């Protein structure tokens, strides 16, 4: 068994072999610990055990690495949301609340991704991938909104886009204000997840989709 480079750690030759991925991992760790601003190109290089100039072979500058992290974040986000929505099974309302919990769980469990996506000031058109990933994630929310709205009688259907924007805004607002791993900026009387679920219930009730006000199929 004469492998070439399987040792997981330090001793490596002149070429790293997988620097780009390792830089992304290092960036995630640094962002998680010190926020998207505390993250430093030089320190990521140090973590990967290469010289401070090496990262520039893989990313034009610091912002491009941040944009790459954000794009990967949106991809993971979209995957998590899609999995939670599960095509609306067993019924749209159950799936919708599961979607909301998945949103907050992502923000809570992947603070580095979430920060890169929403708090680092990365412009969405920094790359085509980033834009596409962000659009996919939003499309998931919009799709779920459409499924719920379809339960309403023809005349009383609000625009699905608007509903998706409302839900996104409420979710992001709760995540940003109260959903951080450190408990957020302000003590809450309930968990962020429960807060979002309650808000969603009230909002859906307002639309006439409440569990206690089914669209009488008369």
CB of 37 to its own copies, least distance (A): 5
Q: Which does 62 bind (CB under 5 to 8 A by kind): DNA, its own copies, none?
A: DNA
Q: Which does 170 bind (CB under 5 to 8 A by kind): DNA, its own copies, none?
A: its own copies
Rg (CA), the chain: 21
Query: Is 127 among the residues that bind DNA (CB under 7 A)?
Result: no
Say which residue the tokens 């490596």 belong to.
Answer: 12
Binding-site member from 21, 33, 56, 91 for DNA (CB under 7 A): 56
Q: How far is CA 98 from CA 37, 42, 87, 103, 108, in A?
A: 32, 40, 12, 9, 15
CB of 50 to DNA, least distance (A): 4
Residue 197 corresponds to which tokens in the numbers above?
């679920």
Question: Sign of torsion, CA 170 176 179 185?
Answer: negative
- b/e string for 69-95 if b means 16 or more Cβ within 10 A? bbbbbbbbbbebbbebbeebeeebbeb
CB of 9 to DNA, least distance (A): 15
Binding-site member from 32, 58, 101, 131 for DNA (CB under 7 A): 58
| 217 Cβ neighbours under 8 A, 6+ residues apart | none
The residues binding its own copies (CB under 8 A) are 35, 37, 118-119, 121, 123-124, 134, 138, 158-159, 161-162, 165-166, 168-174, 176-178, 185-186, 188-190, 195, 198-199, 201-207, 210
**Nearer to DNA by C-beta: 20 or 180?**
20
Q: Which residues contact DNA (rule: CB under 7 A)? A: 13-17, 19, 40-43, 50-54, 56-58, 60-63
């Amino acid at each position: 068994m004469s492998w070439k480079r399987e040792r997981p750690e330090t001793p490596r030759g002149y070429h790293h072999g997988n620097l780009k991925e390792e830089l992304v991992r290092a960036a995630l760790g640094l962002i998680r610990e010190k926020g998207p601003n505390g993250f430093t190109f030089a320190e990521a290089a140090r973590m990967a055990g290469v010289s401070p100039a090496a990262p520039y072979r893989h990313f034009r500058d610091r912002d491009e690495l941040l944009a790459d992290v954000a794009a990967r974040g949106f991809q993971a986000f979209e995957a998590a949301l899609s999995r939670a929505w599960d095509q609306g099974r067993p019924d749209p309302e159950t799936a919708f609340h599961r979607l909301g919990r998945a949103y907050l769980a992502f923000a809570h469990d992947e603070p580095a991704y979430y920060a890169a996506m929403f708090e680092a000031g990365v412009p969405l058109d920094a790359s085509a991938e980033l834009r596409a990933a962000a659009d996919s994630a939003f499309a998931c929310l919009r799709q779920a909104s459409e499924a719920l709205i379809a339960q309403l009688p023809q005349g009383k259907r609000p625009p699905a886009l608007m509903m998706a924007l409302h839900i996104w805004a409420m979710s992001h607002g709760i995540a940003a204000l109260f959903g951080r791993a450190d408990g957020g900026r302000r003590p809450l009387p309930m968990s962020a997840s429960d807060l979002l679920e309650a808000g969603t219930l009230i909002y859906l009730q307002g639309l006439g989709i409440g569990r206690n006000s089914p669209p009488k199929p008369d």
